[in-house]
Amino acid sequence: MIPTIEWSGRHIRMVDQRKLPSKIDWYTCRGYKDVIKAIQGMVIRGAPAIGVAAAMGLALGAHCITAKSYAAFIRRFKKIAEEMLLARPTAVNLRWAVERMTGVVENMGGRSGGDIKLALRKESERILAEDIETNRRMGQHGQHLVPDGATILTHCNAGSLATGGYGTALGVVRAAHENGKRIEVIADETRPWLQGLRLTAFELMEDGIPVSVIADNAAGSLMRQKKINLVITGADRIAANGDVANKIGTYQVAVLAKTNHIPFYVAAPLSTIDPTLKRGEMIPVEERGREEICQIGKLQVGPSGVCVLNPAFDITPAKYVSSIITEKGIINPPFIKNIKRLLEM
């Protein structure tokens, strides 16, 4: 699998996900503002990948700070961190990564700029490596929920490309496959960005895991015909009560799954849980541009001037979620109690 993001000398390079699968193109970030632009413009996307990119972006930003004192260094660093925080609002992994990087600077009071820059670079490398390891652990826990011969529906792309590598929802799929289970995946195409068609199908085909793509609106009918055994998605933020923010369309998949008595699993690292928010309605949902709905590529297909609503995420209430798969194990309902317990372990 092509790496989602990596250091290339003093720069960061990421595979340009807007162009996949037709072209494998590298997008180079020479400064932290390039990273912010890449996150906002969907060059890199997916909650854990956004977190990793933010951490690396802060290390890159810190590299250019020319401060004479520690106080001046941390002041400048925090300004960059504030800018980074605004890149995209829904995935809490971004805030998690910014806080972790800021912690490094705060713990190095009085040290030289050179020392802090090196520590930040190392921390960003650790965050990337840990993310991959976390996904592998999540995969091992989650694969126990996947029976041999299962057909799994997934929405959006929660794969290697949405993370540092291996994936969350697709990490579970990969682990089941690696454990010899004969599985098939049905990928919702995931309008408007087509992450399911362009990225999930691409990743699974590369791994030799059977995959079929469906139009988003075909999921309900297939469930009713008993052609789907379980659903696994990723998450952008999980509230303390287990409500899940994920790609727009996830909510309707979850409701359909419950109606058809199909388990609906969410695979996400603990960094996606936001214990500061009690309920899902408190999660900020990004609204994106009208052109994403009205255009296909550069071609305008909608009537000029038509009103458009384009929420990029939705909230699935916890009552539709069967279990949350994390790197520390599987969280079952009641979520308020069990999420708290796992976070405190």
Active site residues: 236
**CA gap 263, 145 in Å, rounded:** 10
Closest residue by beta carbon to ligand MRU: 234
174 binds ligand MRU (CB under 6 A): no
Q: How many residues bind ligand MRU (CB under 6 A)?
A: 18
State the binding string over 273-312 for ligand MRU (x if CB under 6 A, else -).
---------------------------------------x
**Nearer to ligand MRU (CB atom), residue 105 or residue 253:** 253
Phi, psi of 109 (to 5 degrees): -50, 130
Q: Which of 124, 163, 316, 323 binds ligand MRU (CB under 6 A)?
A: 163
CB 181 to ligand MRU: min, Å: 21
Give the β-pairing of 11-15 and 5-8.
antiparallel
**Nearer to ligand MRU (CB atom), residue 124 or residue 271:** 271
Give bridge partners of residue 331 from the DSSP assignment: 324
Q: What value does the CA radius of gyration of the chain take, rounded to a whole number of Å?
A: 20
Q: Which of residues 36-65 bind ligand MRU (CB under 6 A)?
A: 45-48
State the binding string over 193-212 for ligand MRU (x if CB under 6 A, else -).
--x-----------------
By the 8 A CB rule, do 306 and 299 touch? no
CB 272 to ligand MRU: min, Å: 8
**CA gap 98, 79 in Å, rounded:** 11
Phi, psi of 299 (to 5 degrees): -85, 125
**Nearer to ligand MRU (CB atom), residue 74 or residue 270:** 270
161 binds ligand MRU (CB under 6 A): no
**Nearer to ligand MRU (CB atom), residue 260 or residue 310:** 310
By the 8 A CB rule, do 257 and 227 touch? no
- Pick the stretch among 140-148, 232-240, 277-285, 321-329 that binds ligand MRU (CB under 6 A): 232-240
**Closest C-alpha to 318, from 331, 299, 300:** 331
**Nearer to ligand MRU (CB atom), residue 62 or residue 238:** 238
User: Within a 10 A sphere around the Cβ of 121, how many other Cβ atoms?
Assistant: 19
**CA gap 293, 71 in Å, rounded:** 46
By the 8 A CB rule, do 277 and 240 touch? yes
3-state secondary structure of 25: coil
**Nearer to ligand MRU (CB atom), residue 88 or residue 117:** 88
Tell me how far apart the terminal alpha carbons of the chain are, to the nearest angstrom.
33
Q: Which residues bind ligand MRU (CB under 6 A)?
A: 45-48, 91, 156, 158, 162-163, 168, 195, 233-236, 246-247, 312
